[in-house]
Chains A and B, each alone.
Chain A
Amino acid sequence: MASEDRTAPAADAAQAGRGARSRLRHPLLLLVAAVVALDVLAFLVVPPFPKHGQPGDACPFPVCFIDGNLELPPPHVVWDLDPANPLPSGSLVIGFHPSITNSLLTMWIVMAAVLLVAYLATRRLRAVPGGFQNLFEWAYESLSNWAVSNGGQAAARHVPIFAAFFILILFGNWSGLVPPIGKVELLRAPTSDLNVTIGLALAAFAYFETQGVRANGLGGYLGKFFPLREFRHGVGAGLLALFVGLIELMLEFVKPITLSMRLFGNIYGGEVALGVITALALAVLPVALLALEAMLNFVQALIFSTLTLMFTMVAIQAHQEEEPPHPAVTPIDQLAAATAAH
């Protein structure tokens, strides 16, 4: 720890350092102990009961425990805005029904918290920042560096939306790991709901499509998928280019699908895995999985926002016919060189 390094030279300062170190030896160990205690407490105070029964019913060990902790994909409706016409009940229902679900409620809470923190950090801005503002500046600068190192200098324009997606999805993911959320009917991690992730993916899709159209013009952007210019080189080349363009168009629509499915699958799967292992192993093993889930949630937020940034950079690039070879330095240039190979 840093305090040890600073107090190492002086002898009596080392005494004080040792005292401070023993007082708060490993905050991480303390956190682990707190989580284990919370798990055991929850099991004693609210033991699992059968899904359609009363608390206190008999509950055989594996099956009923797991059933009590299992979270189904469709979110639980907190406030039904249109009780007169319910969705037809069936196994696979894709319909539109206005309601406030628990994932939407948690999304609003996360948004309010993030906005509040952002507002508190940025009022009374100072040229030499104090603690809180410094933390925010460090976070934004790290995100900006990551975006520019992956996307090239032209990505600096798109850092705000990259950072926005990242922060919202990160805290949305992490909110599912906070103890009551996900186990109480009222609250659920927002990104563990397919509706929310599809919405986020559609927002990202709209963003990079409009950026592409804005950079290349509507004709130029569509010309990437339907390169009628290739007919100049002969009918065969033209048809081939058209075929490749159609595949690219299909891939363009696959992008929001994979973005949403990847996020949903990782977060929902993580929640289910956490619920099942907490039901089975109760106290110590789930903590390890909790730590893994925290890391994976961070990575998934990073992936979603980085991919949105990459798709934006790819979309705003002009269609390359004969490009003078330049050294592919950043990953986005490498990707562009690979896709421009046709």
Chain B
Amino acid sequence: MDHLGAGIAVLAITAPALAIGILTGMSSAAIGRNPEAGPQIRGLAIILAAFAEGLGVLAIVVALLAIFIK
């Protein structure tokens, strides 16, 4: 029970996971509809996935703070 706060903070990773999943699905559908725009969509998708992942990293930071602040 020592680090329960850290464990709860990490539950927030589900949100970026869902976001990246939705992004993947919709960008794949977009590339399927319009293969010529493939490189642009791919580039945009990578960048936006990193945005979403960055927010998940904030959850790691909060969890680390919860562990290391007594």
Q: Which residues of B contact A91 (CB under 8 A)?
A: 68-70
Question: Once bound together, how far apart are the Cα atoms of A92 and B67, in whole Å?
Answer: 10
**CB-based contact B60/A269 at 8 Å:** yes
**CB-based contact B50/A262 at 8 Å:** yes
Question: Once bound together, how far apart are the Cα atoms of A244 and B58, in whole Å?
Answer: 24
**Interface size class, chain A:** 20 to 34
**CB-based contact B40/A262 at 8 Å:** no
From B39, B46, B54, B64, A73 is in contact (CB under 8 Å) with B64
**CB-based contact B46/A299 at 8 Å:** yes
Q: Which residues of A contact B18 (CB under 8 A)?
A: none
Q: A258 near B: Cβ within 8 Å?
A: yes
Q: Which residues of B contact A150 (CB under 8 A)?
A: 43, 47
Among residues 24 to 70 in chain B, which have CB atoms less than 8 Å away from a CB atom of chain A?
Answer: 39-40, 43-44, 46-47, 50, 53-54, 56-58, 60-61, 64-65, 68-70
**CB-based contact B47/A265 at 8 Å:** no
**CB-based contact A331/B68 at 8 Å:** no
**Nearest neighbor of B64 in chain A, beta-carbon distance:** A73
**CB-based contact B61/A265 at 8 Å:** yes
Q: Which residues of B contact A262 (CB under 8 A)?
A: 50, 53-54, 57
**CB-based contact B58/A307 at 8 Å:** no
Q: Which residues of B contact A266 (CB under 8 A)?
A: 53, 57
From A149, A302, A303, B39 is in contact (CB under 8 Å) with A149
Q: Mark B1-17, 1 if CB is under 8 A from A, else 0.
A: 00000000000000000
Question: Once bound together, how far apart are the Cα atoms of A149 and B50, in whole Å?
Answer: 18
**CB-based contact B69/A92 at 8 Å:** yes
Q: Which residues of B contact A175 (CB under 8 A)?
A: none
Looking at the assembled complex, report how far the CB atom of B31 sits from the nearest CB atom of chain A, in whole angstroms. 14
**CB-based contact B60/A265 at 8 Å:** yes
Q: Mark A277-309, 1 if CB is under 8 A from B, else 0.
A: 000000000000000000000011011001100
Main secondary structure of the interface of A (DSSP, over half): helix
**Nearest neighbor of B41 in chain A, beta-carbon distance:** A331
**Nearest neighbor of A194 in chain B, beta-carbon distance:** B61
Among residues 225 to 265 in chain A, which have CB atoms less than 8 Å away from a CB atom of chain B?
Answer: 258, 261-262, 264-265
Q: A330 near B: Cβ within 8 Å?
A: yes
Q: Which residues of A contact B43 (CB under 8 A)?
A: 146, 149-150, 331
**CB-based contact B68/A73 at 8 Å:** yes
**CB-based contact B57/A265 at 8 Å:** yes
**Nearest neighbor of B68 in chain A, beta-carbon distance:** A91
**CB-based contact A303/B50 at 8 Å:** yes
Looking at the assembled complex, report how far the CB atom of B37 sits from the nearest CB atom of chain A, in whole angstroms. 10
**CB-based contact A303/B68 at 8 Å:** no
**Nearest neighbor of A150 in chain B, beta-carbon distance:** B43
Looking at the assembled complex, report how far the CB atom of B41 sits from the nearest CB atom of chain A, in whole angstroms. 9
**Nearest neighbor of A303 in chain B, beta-carbon distance:** B50
A contact residues vs B (CB 8 Å cutoff): 73, 91-92, 146, 149-150, 258, 261-262, 264-266, 269, 299-300, 302-303, 306-307, 310, 330-331, 334
Q: List 16 A-B contacts (CB under 8 A).
A: A73-B64, A91-B70, A92-B68, A149-B39, A150-B43, A258-B54, A261-B54, A261-B58, A261-B61, A265-B54, A265-B56, A269-B57, A299-B46, A303-B46, A306-B47, A307-B47
> 8 shortest A-B CB distances, which residue pairs?
A265-B57, A262-B54, A303-B50, A331-B44, A91-B69, A91-B70, A265-B60, A92-B69
